[in-house]
Structure 1
Amino acid sequence: MALVTPPQNYEDLIRLIHDRHDGMSKTYQRISVYLTQNPNDVAVHSVNAIAERCGIHASSFVRFAQSLGYKGFKELQALFQRRLATAAPGFEARVKALETELSAAPERSEKGFLRDLVVRDIASLQLLLDEIDDRDLATAADLLFKAEVVYLLGQLRSAPVVDLLRYVLTMLGKRCVLLDAGGGLATHMARSIGKRDVLLAVSFRFYANEVVNIVEEAGQRGTDIVAISDSTLSPLAKWARVLFAVPEHDYSFSRSLAAPMCLAQALVVAVAARVQDDDQAPRIPTVTGT
């Protein structure tokens, strides 16, 4: 049933999509995920181009918009365009320049592949800087700093992110437990998370089932969870006290970890700043070899 008054700004639209997501059809859920993960692409491309990228017929996007109370997709798209125009000075120009550069690149050599990935990573890192809320960064750093134990969870391509976090946090003197999938014990180990501990979980499409299940079980017990994922519609979002929805672009073969790795490093630097114990001559305690 169409709404009498559809959302008139981007924030209200995303809130409505979140509220309705679980009750949507599979097709509408896929559209919802694409819209929330690629707001800038939605703003600058035609509905046909968006539909082709998403692998769903354009008419489904039109019906999706109408289900939210809009006359058609262009009316919904206008909210994304207004958001992009006010998000950051010159950002729309950067997006268009990137699209032009990538589409015009004739080089299909090994160096050309590297160049394409670097250019895309630069765009993802810039978007990360524009999108991540400094209050979320502060809250997450406080949680990690105050936690008795930081439990780290990530599998498949998310594993390198939590491996980096374990290394640096351990060297800063933080007690860390990696919920390793090896041996099938991660779920059982997670049940040891205490009330003064924090779970930091990382997962991207297509979300590892064990990671999703552990986050859900920990969330139901009231555990403080910091999540790094790719969308505010991620299954981790419901249980996260702090969710970092890291912008991600589809690559021809692989997806880069540049943005989530950068975010992980920013978190540990913020934690390091909090463990300084002397304002006059700050010194970060570290674990050193013997």
Structure 2
Amino acid sequence: MKQQPTPTASPKDYEELIRLIHERHDQMSKTYQKISVYLTQNPNEVAVQSVNTIAERCGMHASSFVRFAQALGYKGFKELQVLFQKRLATAAPGFEARIKALDNELMNREDRSEYGFLHDLVVRDIASLQDILERTSGEDLAMAADVIEGADTIYLIGQLRSAPVVELLRYILTMLGKRCVLLDPGGGLATHMARTMKSTDALIAVSFRFYANEVVNIVEEAQKIGVPVVAISDSTLSPLAKSAKVLFSVPEHDYTFSRSLAAPMCLAQALTVAVVARVQKDDTAPRIPTVTGI
């Protein structure tokens, strides 16, 4: 059974708190890990909501949040929450705030028709795309482009709903002339194919909650043998994070049937366009070759 974090001097600012959560995440109980993910994915909501509301959204009792805060050295959850409130003073609007603003702008409608479902998806996609602009650093994009450009062979893995993202990456990178290997789960060969990777190659992995075991295992093995990993996942606390050279976090704020791939697809395209610009020595109007004949 995993131990809870032991009390310590409490972090004095938001950045220090997040670093401590990351350091201790693997040793936390399942309950505390779930709390950690919510805190790191929804900092603006944590700043303005009551502990009871936050706990209800996580499907647990408020006392768990209080004990979590105390384990990190705070007297209670309100003392921890102050760090999120200070961050909010200079932070951009949160995901839920964006959705509300966009919904109002697009004529908020209680429409359960087919068009209503389209409206809801578009609003959430716009908010997600705005969110990745703020979460994604130019340094990480440049580092990932370096890894992809310099790799002898690019291995790609993404299963279940992540599969379309790596399929898109395979298509574009192949058209660019890069040697790509898709670690397809078909036939049960993905793990065996991954064992052909070398340190001069690269692995691009995409996985969201609930993370496919084979993807997580292959990413960990790649890191052990020195293969650089570029990962796209839903949290900086994702099981891919500890093995990734570069991790792009694309939070999923609503675990419903209608979860969209617009944001991770956009991020994947941005990575490939960055590589195209380098290969073509054209950072103003890079062009991906197209299939012109059959």
* TM-score relative to the length of structure 1: 0.91
Q: Distance in 1 between matches of 2:70 and 2:208?
A: 29
Match of 1:209 among 213, 236, 242: 213
Question: Which residue of structure 1 lines up, in the alignment, with residue 66 of structure 2?
Answer: 62
SS in 2 for 1:87: coil
Question: Which residue of structure 2 lines up, in the alignment, with residue 262 of structure 1?
Answer: 266
Q: CA deviation at 1:37?
A: 2.0
Question: Which residue of structure 1 lines up, in the alignment, with residue 254 of structure 2?
Answer: 250
One-letter amino acid of the counterpart of residue 66, structure 1: Q
Report percent identity of matched pairs.
70
Contact 1:173 1:285 (8 Å CA) reproduced? no
CA offsets per residue over residues 171-208 of structure 1, 9 Å max, x none? 11111110000000000000111121000000000000
Q: CA deviation at 1:283?
A: 7.3
Q: CA deviation at 1:16?
A: 0.6
Q: CA deviation at 1:64?
A: 0.5
Q: CA deviation at 1:254?
A: 2.6
Contact 1:120 1:249 (8 Å CA) reproduced? no
Q: Distance in 2 between matches of 1:195 and 1:258?
A: 31
The answer to whether structure 1 residue 83 and structure 2 residue 87 are counterparts is yes
Contact 2:157 2:204 (8 Å CA) reproduced? yes
Q: CA deviation at 1:282?
A: 8.3
Contact 2:198 2:225 (8 Å CA) reproduced? no
Q: Distance in 1 between matches of 2:33 and 2:180?
A: 36
Q: Which runs of 5+ in 2 are unaligned?
A: 1-5
Q: How does 1:277-288 map to 2 (within 5 A)?
A: 277=281, 286=289, 288=291
Question: Which residue of structure 2 lines up, in the alignment, with residue 157 of structure 1?
Answer: 161
Q: CA deviation at 1:219?
A: 1.0
- Number of residue equivalences: 285
Q: CA deviation at 1:101?
A: 7.0
One-letter amino acid of the counterpart of residue 198, structure 1: A
Q: Distance in 1 between matches of 2:256 and 2:202?
A: 36
Distance 1:119 1:58, change over 3 A: same
Contact 1:172 1:287 (8 Å CA) reproduced? no
Q: Distance in 1 between matches of 2:259 and 2:72?
A: 32
Contact 1:204 1:230 (8 Å CA) reproduced? yes
The answer to whether structure 1 residue 98 and structure 2 residue 102 are counterparts is no
SS in 1 for 2:89: helix
Q: Distance in 1 between matches of 2:249 and 2:282?
A: 34
SS in 2 for 1:31: helix
SS in 1 for 2:90: helix
Match of 2:7 among 2, 9, 21: 2
After superposition, the CA RMSD in angstroms is: 2.3
Contact 2:277 2:286 (8 Å CA) reproduced? no
Contact 1:154 1:161 (8 Å CA) reproduced? yes
The answer to whether structure 1 residue 193 and structure 2 residue 197 are counterparts is yes
Q: Distance in 2 between matches of 1:96 and 1:287?
A: 40
Q: How does 1:141-180 map to 2 (within 5 A)?
A: 141-180=145-184
CA offsets per residue over residues 10-31 of structure 1, 9 Å max, x none? 1111111111112211111111
